[in-house]
Each structure stands twice: as C-alpha cells, then as structure tokens.
Structure 1
Amino acid sequence: MGGVSGLVYASVPTFTYVIVNAIAGLNAAVAVAVGTSVGLILLRRQRKEPVQPAVSGLLGVVIAGLIAHYTGSAEGYFLPGIWISLAVAAAFTVSLVVRRPLVGVVWNLMRSGGPDPAWRADKVVLRGFDVATLVFVAVFAGRFIVQQWLYDAGSTGWLAIARIAMGYPLLGLALVVVSWAVRRANRRPGVRVAPPHKPGPSESRPGRRI
C-alpha cells in the first residue's frame, strides 16, 4: 500500500480540498485537489517511485470533484468513497451467505490459478476465511455508516478525518486477519498446492517406449 509515504500521498489531496473549500469555496477546492494529485504524480516520477497509485488517486479525485461540482455540495466529494464502501460490504456479505467467503476465493485463485472447491471442504480453512471475510464486512460497513452519517450532517472536515482514519489503518488490521487465515490454510495438508510435475526418463523422450 506504499507504507507511510502511500498514506501521506492518499491524504494530501483530501486535506487540501477541505482547507481550500473553507477558504476559497468549492470550485477552487476541486481545482486545487486535482492540481495536488497531478503534482504528486510528478513528484513520484521524479523520485523514481511507482506512479500507478498516484494515477489511480488522481482518477478518484477527478470523479469526486466532478460529483461535488455538479451537486454544488462540498460533501459530495466524499460520495464515491461512501458508495464504494457500501458496495464492497454488500459483496463480502453475499459471499458469506452463499458459503464462498471472498477472501478465500481470492486466496484460492492466487494459489491455484483457477477454481478449486477442495479448500471449502476443510471446515478449519473455511472458518478461517469466514472470519477474515467478516472482518472486511465490518471495516467497510463501518466506513459506510460513519461517513454516511457525517455526510448527512454536512460535516466536511470530519468526513476528511474519518476517510483517512478509517482508510489504511483499518485496512491494515483487516490484512492482519487475512494473513492469519492464509497461514492457517497453508498448514492444512488437504489444501496445499501440488508440486509441479517433473517428467521421468520415460516421459522426457516422446518417441521412446518401455
């Protein structure tokens, strides 16, 4: 996630937007937030750091700024993040209901490269990924509830603080639980990835017969 610098880069456009909005109004705040995001891309490029996170951040700022501009509300800047939190919480919840915990599905695709239902037959593994997925439900549902409440209250400044405080820090805690679930699954012999097949002497020469 970029460590401390990634957290700073993600936070600067938001705090800039809130400060400029309080001083010079909504349109200036949107322009300065977009300009700040562009400046961060140039800074990362100059420091020879990956620019993809900053480019993604710029896209998010542009979308949020457009919504704020067309709604005429400073709080509109935070609507995309609020909606995304609700959508992600719903997706993780549905995956639990259908007994396909999303964290486990992603782990399985990464380790095997395709669908493999064997991991769901192991109750210990399935329970671990249920817990990890439930943590993500709590994180994103919490983001939505708190930020939607602040949005309805018109608290632009507190929305910025909540967005930062409930962003990387909570996601980091969720990833700790994911790490625990993955290690737990990897220790189960029934779900380990089989080693690559190495052809024997008789298989190394297609035309040879035994």
Structure 2
Amino acid sequence: MAINSQEIIDELKSVISGRTFDAVLPPLVFVFTNNLFNLNIAAIIALSLAAILAIRRFIKGENWFYALGGLLGTGLAAGLALISRTATGYFIPGIITSILILIIALISLILKKPLAAWASHLTRGWPLEWFWRDDIKPAYQEVTIFWAVLFAVRLTVQLILFRAGDATRLAWANTILGWPVTISVLILSYIYGIWRLKKLGGPGVDEFREGKEPPWEGQKKGF
C-alpha cells in the first residue's frame, strides 16, 4: 500500500507541534551549566528556562500544555538532583517513565490488549471493539512489541549511564532516544501498521461502524 509523505506529516503534526524544543532544552542546559558552575545554579537555570518557555507559549496564545508539563517535569527532576546531590539525579524521572511504559506495554501484551491499540483509541476515539477483532489486533500487538523493544533499549542505556554517574552522556542519550527516536518509531509504526492491516484483511473503522459485510476495502488512513 502506497503511503505518501503528506499523510505521514499529517499524522505526526499532533505529536510534534513544537514540543521537542520545550522537552529537550532544559536538561541540556542543566548539564551544561552544572559543568560550568554547580548543581544549585544548574537547577535554578534549568527551572527558570522551563518557566520562561511556558510563559512564552501562554503569552503568544500557543498550546502551553506541554510546556507546563515540561516545567513540572523540570521542577521534579531538579528537586531530585538537589536531594541526591548528583547531576544524574535529574534524570531519575525519565528512567522511571521508561520503566513504567515498558511494564505497561508488557502487561498489555500478556493480557492481549496491546498498548498501541489503547493509544490509538484514546487519540482517535475509534471503537475498542474494532481493535480487538482477530483480523485487526495482530497489527497492534506487533507494533506494541516494537515499542517494548525500544523502551527496553532506552532503559538499558539510561541505567548503564546512570550507574556510571555520567550526566553529560545521559543527557545526550535521553535527547537522542527521546523525540528523534520516538518520531522515527511513530513513522515506522504507522507505515507498518497500515500495511499489516491490509494484509490481515479486516474492515476499516468506517466499514466496521457501518456494519458492512466483506469483502472490505480495509483501513486506508490512520492507525
């Protein structure tokens, strides 16, 4: 099935939408200023930067939800770094997040209710009954396995660098394994998912809602 680039761009707009800058900059600034000054100054500067980004979005009338999330996350991370008195403490929330997502993905696979299906349902509002069909669910199971492998690799790298106390490399690893890899995985998941649904031969969401009988055209856009 041919998938044009514009279709992929449209699917990713709601994911990217300027959030990368807000999420990536504070931790990099934290590590840089910690190397130049000390932990206290680094925490203050990173937290101030996150606050400025959130205020800027609010003033400009942009979507500031993710900037606010970045502010809260930066505050928590900076607090943990100060409590632990180590720069690597800043990255504990990210490590915990990786652990939780990996556990949720694995549990969803064991229960045969794949995380990718839940994510699509919550994002698009498609009926859950469609996702659980035998000619639909395998596509979401396989994508969830792909996600689980990604987070297992990410967690392994994070733990190795955390135990080594290497805050600089941990910051870069989190950056590279964060939005850049996430965006790449979403693109691959979308391309593979549409192809797999076509191979499975199940109905598209609209066909399912309308109760159409086979043969079906299948899901043409959206995963």
Say whether the fold is shared (TM-score over 0.5).
Answer: yes
C-alpha spacing 1:173/1:120, structure 2 compared with 1 (3 Å): same
Instruction: Please list every run of 5 or more consecutive structure 1 residues that lacks an aligned counterpart in the other structure.
Output: 197-210
Query: Per-residue deviation at 1:190?
Result: 7.2
Larger radius of gyration: 1
The alpha-carbon deviation at position 73 of structure 1 amounts to 1.0
Residue 181 (structure 2) pairs with residue 167 (structure 1): no
Residue type of the alignment partner of 1:47: K
Q: Among residues 13, 29, 38, which one is paired with 1:16 in the alignment?
A: 29
Letter in 2 for 1:89: L
Distance 1:29 1:108, change over 3 A: closer
Match of 2:76 among 63, 80, 91: 63
The match for 1:120 among 109, 119, 132 is 132
Q: Cα offset for 1:137? A: 0.5
Distance in 2 (CA, whole Å) between partners of 1:69 and 1:104 is 39
1:188 CA drift (Å): 2.4
Structure 1 counterpart of 2:116:
103
Q: What TM-score results when the alignment is normalised by the length of structure 2?
A: 0.77
2:209 matched to 1:194?
A: yes
Q: Which residue of the partner structure matches residue 49 of structure 2?
A: 36
In 1, Cα distance between equivalents of 2:41 and 2:93: 20
Q: Which residue of 2 aligns with 1:150?
A: 161
Partner letter of residue 55 of structure 1?
L
Return the offset for 1:105: 3.2
TM (normalized to structure 1)? 0.82
**Conserved? CA contact 1:147–1:163, under 8 Å:** yes
CA distance in 2, matches of 1:31, 1:138: 35
Number of residue-to-residue matches in the alignment = 192
Q: Which residue of 2 aligns with 1:80?
A: 93
Q: Which residue of 2 aligns with 1:140?
A: 151
Distance in 1 between the 2:173 and 2:31 partners? 13
- Mapped partners of 2:73, 2:27: distance in 1: 11
Q: Which amino acid aligns with 1:29?
A: A
Rounded to whole Å, the distance in 1 between the matches of 2:70 and 2:131 is 35
Cα distance, 1:190–1:34 mapped onto 2, change above 3 Å:
closer
Gaps of 5+ in 2: 1-14, 212-223
Deviation of the 1:185 alpha carbon: 3.9
Q: Percent identity?
A: 27
- In 1, Cα distance between the equivalents of 2:187 and 2:150? 13
3-state DSSP of counterpart to 2:112:
coil
Mean Cα deviation higher: 67-76 or 90-99? 90-99
